[in-house]
Amino acid sequence: MADTAVHDAVDEHDDHGHGDVHHTSTGLSNNKLAMWLFLGSECLLFGGLISTYMLYRGRHSANGGPDQFWDIPFTSASSFVLLMSSLTMVLAVTAAKRKDDRNTNLWLTVTAILGSLFVAGQVYEFTTFYREGLGYTTSLFSSSFYTLTGFHGVHVSVGVIMLLATVGMILKNRIPGDKAEVVELVGLYWHFVDIVWILIFTLVYLIPA
């Protein structure tokens, strides 16, 4: 979707002709600066979605609220998976800084697998809720819940694609410029998706409406 296009467009790392770290006024990398700006911007996107959910979370029929549907143990497990994927991502970044391609690829792949596992968990959770009677249009609560977590899920999926693409490009040695920086940027995006989930997990799941 439109949103996806932005991520990947912003995340291009190969405009190096003008991005050589040594030539910039601040000595900082253009790409990394762009990524942080993008993440700053994303704060307002998720802030809006979280606020919408917070406003509407209590607006549902008598027994159609969070308490009837949440499966805390399951969601905790998938939160744990996503949290651990942040660790494996960091390990990929440190491996990339050591110029250790083998371990970079290994940890990137593990991160992608954990991310996919999280998305799979979300799909399972959504289908379960749907079967139990929580459709997208059932209530304001359900619409805002699915919208918020759906946007997050799309972000995770985009991240998985980015991870796998990075693995592929490292394997084929097709990354122009600084390999470690590419991995680091993918990592920043990935951690951002994780911190958004840290907020969602507490605000949406753990705190009762």
Return the number of the residue (2 or 131) whose C-beta is nearest another protein: 2
Min dist CB 132 to another protein, Å, is: 19
Return the number of the residue (122 or 139) whose C-beta is nearest another protein: 139
Min dist CB 177 to another protein, Å, is: 9
Cβ neighbors of 10 (< 8 A, separation 6 or more) are: 34, 35, 38
Return the number of the residue (123 or 199) whose C-beta is nearest another protein: 199
CA gap 53, 85 in Å, rounded: 26
CA gap 198, 136 in Å, rounded: 23
Name the residue among 136, 152, 151, 145 with its Cα closest to residue 57.
Answer: 145
Min dist CB 209 to another protein, Å, is: 12
Neighbours of 84 (CB within 10 A): 16
- Residue that has been written with the tokens 């006024």 in this structure: 25
Min dist CB 196 to another protein, Å, is: 9
Token output for 43: 């704060």
Min dist CB 199 to another protein, Å, is: 7
Strand residue runs (E) in the chain? none
Task: For 134, list phi and psi in degrees, rounded to 5.
Answer: -105, 85
Return the number of the residue (59 or 116) whose C-beta is nearest another protein: 59
